[in-house]
Amino acid sequence: MCNRRISESERAQRRERDRQRLSQAAEQLLHSDGWRRWVTVRSKNGLARYSLNNQLLIALTRPDATFVAGFRAWLDLGYRVNKGEKAIWILAPMSVKDRDEVNGASRHDSDAAARTRTFFRAVPVFDRAQVTAGEKALPLEPPRAPLTGDSHAHLLAPLRAFAGTLGYTVSFEEIPGEAGGWCDARRRRIVVDTDAPMNAQVRILVHELAHALGVDYQRYTRHQAEVIVDTVTYIVTASAGLDVAGETIPYIAGWGEDGALEAVNKFAATIDTIARQLETALAADQQISPETDDAIAGGRVETPTCEPLGEDRFASGKPVAGA
C-alpha cells in the first residue's frame, strides 16, 4: 500500500503541536514541583541519554518514569510493552532530502549536505512500568548503594583522572567540621575529607568537580552556584548507582523577575551539560551491561543534545531543531 504524502499544512500543524508541547514542558521548570520532577527524571540511569527537551517531555507526561525506550528497543532488551499502554511522545530526528517542487525528483547539486534537512517528529516510547520482562530480560540499571558504604570506591580513580584533565590536583585530607571538601580554583586544587566513607567521598568529589567546571561565585550568585552544583551532584551520583532518594532537590524560587523561563532553561541546560561531562568520565565504570547498551542503541532511542528553548525558531514555522 502506498503511503500518503503529508501536506505542508499538516506538517505545519504537527510542528505547532510539538512547539506547544515543548513550551508546556519547559514551563514546568518554573515551579518547584515541576523542577523536582525533571531532576528526578534526569537522575535515572536509563533517562540520561535523552536530550534536555525530551527529558522535559518525559517528566511532563510521566513524572515517575525511570527507564524509557521505544517499542523495538524494549523487545531487544527482552521486555514487551503491555497491551493498551499509553505512549510517551518525544521528538526524534529524521533526515530527508530536498525534493524538486515541480516533479518530486532529488536535486543534483554538488553540495550533498545542502540537499539534506533534519526534521524532528514525535515518536512513541514507553517506561519500564509499562512493560513486562521476559525470561531473558537484560538488567536496566545498576543497584543502589548507600552513601555510608564503600561500594563505589572504584569511582574515585576516574574522577581524579578527570580532575587532572581540568588541571586540578585532588588530595584526601582530614577536614574539621562538616564541609566535606573544597575547591580552590586559583591553586587548581580539590581537597576531600579522608574520614568520610568512600561513597560519600565520591559524592564530595563530584560536587567539587562541578565547581571546577566553572560554577563559581563570580559567574553566579552563591545561591545559584550551590543550586547548580548540588543538582549536578544529585543527578550524577544517582545515575552512578548511589542512593540519594532521601536528599533534598535544591530549587531557586522565582528565577528572577524578567525572563524567568529563559533563565530557568539556561540553568537546566548548564546542569545537564555539566552532569553529562561527569557521567562520561564515569561511564567506563558503570555496572549496566554492554548488552543493555547495545540493545538501547539498536532501538535508536537516543536524541541529540538540545538547544535552549524559547528562541525564534519556535515561532518561525521551520522544523523544530535541537529537540
At 72-125, the pLDDT tens digits run 999 998 999 999 999 999 988 777 666 544 445 444 555 555 567 777 888 899
Query: Would the pLDDT of 287 be above 70?
Result: no
Query: Would the pLDDT of 165 be above 60?
Result: yes
Q: What is the average per-residue pLDDT within 150-172?
A: 96
Q: Give the list of residues 6+ apart from residue 103 with CB closer than 8 angstroms, or none.
A: none
139-153, 204-218, 258-272, 294-308: least confidently modelled range: 294-308
Going by pLDDT thresholds of 50, 70 and 90, the confidence category of residue 31 is confident
Per-residue confidence (pLDDT) for residue 254, from 0 to 100: 61
How far apart (Å, rounded) are the C-alpha atoms in residues 206 and 158?
11
31-35, 203-207, 293-297: least confidently modelled range: 293-297
How far apart (Å, rounded) are the C-alpha atoms in residues 66 and 79?
15
Per-residue confidence (pLDDT) for residue 45, from 0 to 100: 62
Going by pLDDT thresholds of 50, 70 and 90, the confidence category of residue 296 is very low
Place of cell 515543548: 22
Axis crossing angle, helix 156-165 with helix 260-282, rounded to the nearest 10:
120
Query: Would the pLDDT of 181 be above 90?
Result: yes
For the chain, give the mean pLDDT.
79
Amino acid found at 123: V
| Phi, then psi, of 92 in degrees rounded to 5 | -120, 145
How far apart (Å, rounded) are the C-alpha atoms in residues 81 and 127?
9
Per-residue confidence (pLDDT) for residue 156, from 0 to 100: 96
For 79-113, letters b (16+ CB in 10 Å) and e give: bebeeeeebbbbbbbeeeeeeeeeeeeeeeeeeee
121-135, 248-262, 263-277: least confidently modelled range: 248-262
Per-residue confidence (pLDDT) for residue 24, from 0 to 100: 81
How far apart (Å, rounded) are the C-alpha atoms in residues 316 and 323?
15
Q: What is the average per-residue pLDDT within 21-40?
A: 85
| Residue-wise pLDDT tens digits, 310-322 | 322 222 223 333 3
